[in-house]
């Protein structure tokens, strides 16, 4: 008999044959929520802030955004940050992940001129968090490159590594006395999709080139910032610094060897390209991906691979440069070579790997076209990461559900409950997960989708000049999970009135 079934009869609190409500999150496990500067701050040109690539894109090409909106005001957190922190206290989180806006601190991107008002804003935010014992986690870069640096080539210019190092130095020097939890980049795949597709700013669409160049330069920038922190700041500040990836859950469509390999190559192309150089034993880009892009490039008549490799010295410089594996997770799918359709640009990263994905119709569809609920998807992606880098310390830095407006958000409630059951399943198997940060504290500017897709535990009224925030049902459910450190599937809030519990 399985252990779960034995425990089940002893505790009498099980769903089917699995232990459910009795499982607790261990004491070391931290809970929190996340946001990002461009998505919430607004005040796009206030107090000396410079223009970034999202300001530029939304102002010069508004039709690129589904509802033609922008982040000029967004949640107006630049003025409402105290209300944001009140919401964190209502929820009872122990960690708040936010990003700092490069062009608010360095309006031109380069470090010759620092905007003191930007520094003051983040100092106030950090001090207010610490006043209530909430640990700040800073994402140094969450997609909002200063426009001036984009004009100099952005992530396609190898000098981005120096520019980022200079910026990171200011962040460590200014905030590192109080902030002990840093992440360099949020989701390199999405940052680089701005160079290899039309999916994100700066929408360069240099398919099969821009994305690979960006990957290489971004990893060197990350490694420079890591070494800087490690050598010059960690000895006195004593914090940790990592990297944040997007990992979706994937399973082979069939048991065939081809489909199993498809999952591996898909992982290599979508996240291993960024993580193998840091976490694998020998470093460098993933082997099969390197071979595949080299062969494709040769067949296409190029004299060099479109994926420029690292020198041995660069490989060694990047290897091991992360104290934890930060992972954002949303969707999942089946993967197969048989699902490949030759509709992709040539050359392109998708054409290089020649495979397709499939999400059955019966999977619940979120408000985002790319996001379907794959059963057990949280457990699946955690197993994928652990299998690739056994024992790596994982923080789930984003996870959540997208809906339309509305306070009673049963789908999000169910999503969080099953996602956190997936975390408990992984913990039961000994997977080294240390924290979970829900995405997002509140509705915000959802990039190309504008305000049409909502990820918030709190609903934001974007028609109200005060940007009033109202807790959704999911806020009460997540609060209860954090408080009891258990997933209680039967818990219902007594009312929708939020209060701050004692001690917060
Ligand atoms: C990003 C967030 C975004 C979320 C939902 C992640 O890729 O880091 O900024 O809001 O996904 O799309």
Distance 362 CA to ligand 1 centre (A): 24
Residue 187 among the catalytic residues: yes
Q: What distance in angstroms lies between residue 172's CA and the mean position of ligand 1's atoms?
A: 24
Three-state SS for 86?
Answer: helix
Q: Which residues of 166-198 are buried (b: 16+ CB within 10 A; e: fewer)?
A: bbbbbbbebbbeebbbbbbbbbbbbbbbbbbbe
Residue 447 CA, closest ligand 1 atom number: 10
- Angstrom CA distances, 326 to 11, 183, 202, 315, stand at 34, 8, 24, 21
Task: Tell me how far CA of residue 371 lies from CA of 37, 142, 291, 333, 400, in angstroms.
Answer: 23, 20, 31, 9, 11
Gap between the Cα atoms of 283 and 314, Å rounded:
9
CA of 14 from ligand 1 middle (Å) equals 34
> Choosing from 41, 51, 90, 187, which is the catalytic residue?
187
Backbone φ and ψ of 140, nearest 5°: -75, -35
Q: What is this structure's pTM?
A: 0.96
Select from 65, 101, 140, 190 the residue to mutate for testing ligand 1; criterion: most ligand atoms less than 8 Å from CB: 190
- Structural tokens at position 456: 């918030």
Residue 246: CB within 6 Å of ligand 1? yes
The Cβ-side half-sphere exposure at 468, using a 13 Å CA radius, reads: 5
CATH topology of domain 32-276+319-484: TIM Barrel (3.20.20)
- pLDDT of the residue at 180: 98
For the Cβ of 443 lying below 6 angstroms from any atom of ligand 1, the answer is no
Determine the Cα–Cα distance for residues 35 and 20; give it in Å rounded to an integer.
Answer: 30
Check if 398 has its Cβ closer than 6 Å to any atom of ligand 1.
yes
Q: How far is the C-alpha of 466 from the C-alpha of 3, rounded, in Å?
A: 53
| Bond into 347 cis (ω within 30) | yes
How far is Cα 420 from Cα 7, in angstroms, rounded to an integer?
20
| CA 432/CA 170 separation, integer angstroms | 32
Task: Give me the residue spans of the domains in the chain.
Answer: 32-276+319-484
Cα separation, 205 vs 197, whole angstroms: 4
The CA distance from 72 to 37, in Å, is 11
36 alpha carbon – ligand 1 mean position (Å): 9
Integer angstrom CA distances of residue 366 from 40, 74, 202, 380, 402? 21, 22, 26, 19, 5
* Phi, psi (deg, nearest 5) at residue 489: -75, -15
- pLDDT in 10s for each residue of the chain, 504 residues: 333 333 333 333 344 445 455 899 999 999 999 999 999 999 999 999 999 999 999 999 999 999 999 999 999 999 999 999 999 999 999 999 999 999 999 999 999 999 999 999 999 999 999 999 999 999 999 999 999 999 999 999 999 999 999 999 999 999 999 999 999 999 999 999 999 999 999 999 999 999 999 999 999 999 999 999 999 999 999 999 999 999 999 999 999 999 999 999 999 999 999 999 999 999 999 999 999 999 999 999 999 999 999 999 999 999 999 999 999 999 999 999 999 987 899 999 999 999 999 999 999 999 999 999 999 999 999 999 999 999 999 999 999 999 999 999 999 999 999 999 999 999 999 999 999 999 999 999 999 999 999 999 999 999 999 999 999 999 999 999 999 999 999 999 999 999 999 888
Residue 398 is a catalytic residue: yes
272 vs 286: CA distance, rounded Å: 6
pLDDT at 21: 53
Q: For residue 421, how far is its CA from the centre of ligand 1 (angstroms)? A: 22
Compute the distance between CA of residue 364 and CA of residue 370 in angstroms, rounded to an integer.
12
CA atoms within 13 A on the CB side of 81: 20
d(CA 32, CA 395): 11
Going 157 to 139 to 47 to 116, the CA torsion angle's sign is negative
Mutation test of ligand 1: which of 415, 439, 444, 448 has the most ligand atoms closer than 8 Å to its C-beta?
439
Q: Is the CB–ligand 1 distance for residue 459 below 6 Å?
A: no
């Amino acid at each position: 008999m399985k252990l779960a079934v034995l425990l089940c009869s002893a505790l009498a609190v099980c769903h089917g044959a699995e232990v459910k409500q009795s499982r607790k999150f261990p004491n070391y496990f931290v809970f929190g929520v996340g946001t990002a500067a461009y998505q919430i701050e607004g005040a796009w040109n206030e107090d000396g802030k410079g223009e970034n690539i999202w300001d530029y894109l939304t102002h010069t090409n508004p039709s690129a955004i589904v509802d033609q909106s922008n982040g000029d005001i967004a949640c107006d957190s630049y003025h409402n940050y105290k209300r944001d922190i009140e919401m964190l206290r209502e929820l009872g989180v122990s960690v708040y992940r936010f990003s700092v806006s490069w062009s608010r601190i360095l309006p031109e991107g380069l470090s010759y001129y620092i905007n003191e008002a930007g520094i003051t804003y983040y100092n106030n935010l950090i001090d207010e968090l610490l006043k209530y014992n909430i640990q700040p986690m800073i994402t140094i870069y969450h997609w909002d490159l200063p426009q001036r640096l984009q004009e100099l080539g952005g992530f396609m210019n190898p000098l981005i590594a120096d520019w980022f190092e200079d910026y990171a130095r200011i962040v460590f020097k200014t905030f590192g006395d109080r902030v002990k939890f840093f992440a360099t980049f949020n989701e390199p795949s999405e940052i680089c999709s701005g160079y290899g597709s039309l999916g994100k700013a700066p929408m360069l669409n240099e398919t099969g080139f821009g994305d690979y160049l960006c990957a290489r330069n971004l990893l060197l920038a990350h490694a420079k910032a890591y070494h800087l922190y490690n050598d010059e700041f960690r000895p006195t500040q004593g914090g940790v610094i990592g990297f944040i990836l997007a990992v979706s859950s994937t399973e082979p469509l069939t048991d065939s060897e081809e489909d199993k390999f498809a999952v591996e190559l898909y992982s290599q192309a979508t996240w291993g390209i960024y993580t193998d150089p840091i976490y694998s034993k020998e470093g460098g880009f993933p082997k099969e991906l390197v071979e595949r892009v080299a062969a494709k490039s040769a067949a296409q008549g190029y004299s060099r691979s479109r994926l420029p490799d690292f020198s041995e010295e660069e490989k060694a410089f990047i290897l091991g440069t992360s104290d934890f594996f930060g992972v954002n997770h949303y969707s999942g799918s089946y993967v197969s070579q048989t699902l490949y359709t030759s509709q992709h640009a040539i050359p392109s990263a998708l054409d290089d790997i020649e495979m397709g994905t499939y999400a059955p119709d019966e999977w619940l569809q979120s408000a985002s076209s790319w996001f379907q609920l794959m059963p057990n998807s949280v457990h699946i992606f955690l197993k994928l990461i652990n299998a690739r880098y056994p024992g790596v310390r994982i923080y789930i830095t984003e996870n959540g559900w997208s809906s339309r407006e509305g306070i009673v958000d049963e789908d999000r409630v169910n999503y969080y409950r099953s996602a956190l059951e997936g975390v408990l399943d992984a913990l039961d198997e000994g997977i080294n997960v240390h924290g979970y940060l829900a995405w997002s504290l509140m509705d915000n500017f959802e990039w190309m989708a504008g305000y049409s897709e909502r990820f918030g535990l709190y609903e934001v009224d974007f028609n109200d000049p005060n940007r009033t925030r109202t807790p959704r049902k999911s806020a009460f459910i997540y609060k209860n999970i954090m408080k009891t450190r258990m997933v209680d599937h039967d818990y219902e809030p007594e009312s929708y009135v939020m209060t701050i519990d004692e001690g917060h």
